[in-house]
């Protein structure tokens, strides 16, 4: 029974993650500090603890008066991510972490160490609403959007473990951040954008990573691609294409029925034009589904002459999937044909496969795996 005057048809609002310093821009941080009756320079002090020293435990902020640590610092550094499980492979060079969020939602991030750089692959949503049938995350649907703080914390956690020498290979730093974990980043636009700024703004505003080291991967939400192109950022756009024709792409990436291949690619070229950044096209090679020589030719025709790099990803089969990766000879022929069209192409290595940490394997279904 509905009670008169009550909003019975409004979906219950999920509680928001607690406010964290990383959610706030510099001005909002100053306001928060003043609200606590503290001098405004505390704002920069706190920011440097977090973004430079990678500390978020108030007890470690020894230059602050004890009372300030107990009130202000505790207020601005709630624990957003709690590690549930950590899995490593590739001789310790790949680390996947399952995080529990404040409301019990689960997300994963993956840290990959290479001889010359480190890349962290972060989640932008808990689950995903895009429903791509070959992707593990897509199977469970969308739980919720992540907050800016929850996204930034994944990067800071990676930076911290590298800085502490916790990852094989000694002390290091984060060079690249790829939004290729769980979720569709452009479907969580405002928190994504704030996270991009926080990650790339120099200290004390943010972490100070190079914009050129950041990649945002999307199924192809055209209006959001155009919006991102206008933000004045030098981040790389990756578009998950997976098929050069609408008939197949409608099944592999269902949102294609809304924004078909032509429109997605046009948006990608506009992005390249405005940002002068080479766009990445992601293409998971699926045996006998999208790896035919004629599809390679069609893809080549569509990409030829553009500021583009093609990333072929051998499909990582998800549990219960009827699909698998292409045969080596089909993959080689696919590459050969694309190169014949003058397209820059690489086949991505599949780091983290055996810990379900490779592309499309992030599922975060619970603590039992
Ligand atoms: N939603 C965004 C980002 C997350 S997925 C997007 O779709 O781009 C990151 C990349 O992994 C995407 O290119 C996605 O299509 C790809 N991917 C998903 N499942 C995969 C699988 N099982 N094998 C290989 N790549 C996969």
Helix ranges restricted to H, the chain? 26-35, 41-51, 66-68, 74-76, 136-139, 148-163, 189-200, 222-229, 246-252, 261-275, 293-303, 328-340
Binding site membership of 313 for ligand 1 (Cβ less than 6 Å): yes
Atom of ligand 1 nearest to the CA of 218: 8
Atom of ligand 1 nearest to the CA of 321: 22
pLDDT digits (tens, 9 = 90+) for 152-169: 999 999 999 999 999 999
- The mean pLDDT value for 285-291 works out to 98
Of 128, 132, 135, 359, the active-site residue reads 359
What's 70's DSSP letter? I
The per-residue pLDDT of the chain, averaged, comes to 92
Q: Contact 67/79 with Cβ under 8 angstroms?
A: no
CA of 267 to the centre of ligand 1 (A): 19
pLDDT digits (tens, 9 = 90+) for 248-269: 999 999 999 999 999 999 999 9
Task: Give the whole-angstrom CA distance, residue 37 versus residue 33.
Answer: 7
Binding site membership of 123 for ligand 1 (Cβ less than 6 Å): no
Binding site membership of 221 for ligand 1 (Cβ less than 6 Å): no
pLDDT at 3 over 50: no
Stronger pLDDT, 191 or 5, i.e. the higher one: 191
pLDDT range class, residue 367, cuts 50, 70, 90: very low
Element (H, E) at 144: strand 142-145
pLDDT digits (tens, 9 = 90+) for 308-324: 999 999 999 888 889 99
Q: Contact 166/172 with Cβ under 8 angstroms?
A: no
Task: Give the whole-angstrom CA distance, residue 367 versus residue 162.
Answer: 25
């Amino acid at each position: 029974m509905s009670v008169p005057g009550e909003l019975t048809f409004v979906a219950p609002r999920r509680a928001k993650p607690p406010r964290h310093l990383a959610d706030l821009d510099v001005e909002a941080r100053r306001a928060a500090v003043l609200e606590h009756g503290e001098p405004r320079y505390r704002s920069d002090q706190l920011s440097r603890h977090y973004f430079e020293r990678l500390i978020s435990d108030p007890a470690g902020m020894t230059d602050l008066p004890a009372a300030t640590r107990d009130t202000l610092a505790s207020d601005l550094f709630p624990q957003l991510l709690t590690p549930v499980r950590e899995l490593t492979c590739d001789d310790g060079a790949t680390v996947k972490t399952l995080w529990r969020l404040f409301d019990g939602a689960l997300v994963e991030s993956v840290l990959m160490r290479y001889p010359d750089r480190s890349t962290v692959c972060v989640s932008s949503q808990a689950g995903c609403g895009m429903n791509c049938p070959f992707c593990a995350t897509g199977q469970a649907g969308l739980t919720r959007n992540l907050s800016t703080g929850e996204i930034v914390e994944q990067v800071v956690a990676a930076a911290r473990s590298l800085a502490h020498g916790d990852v094989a290979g000694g002390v290091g730093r984060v060079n690249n951040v790829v939004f290729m974990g769980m979720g569709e980043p452009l479907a969580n636009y405002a928190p994504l954008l704030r996270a991009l700024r926080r990650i790339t703004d120099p200290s004390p505003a943010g972490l100070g990573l190079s914009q050129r080291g950041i990649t945002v991967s999307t199924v192809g939400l055209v209006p959001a691609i155009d919006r991102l192109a206008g933000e004045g950022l030098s981040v790389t756009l990756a578009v998950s294409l997976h098929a050069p024709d609408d008939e197949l792409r409608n099944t592999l990436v269902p949102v294609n029925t809304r924004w078909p291949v032509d429109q997605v690619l046009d948006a990608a070229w506009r992005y390249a034009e405005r940002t002068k950044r080479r766009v990445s096209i992601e293409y998971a090679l699926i045996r006998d589904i999208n790896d035919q020589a004629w599809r390679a030719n069609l893809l080549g025709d569509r990409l030829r002459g553009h500021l583009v790099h093609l990333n072929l990803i051998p499909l990582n089969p998800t549990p219960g999937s009827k699909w698998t990766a292409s045969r080596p000879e089909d993959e080689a022929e696919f590459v050969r044909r694309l190169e014949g069209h003058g397209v820059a192409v690489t086949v991505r290595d599949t780091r983290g496969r055996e810990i379900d940490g490779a592309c499309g394997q992030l599922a975060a279904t619970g603590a039992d795996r």
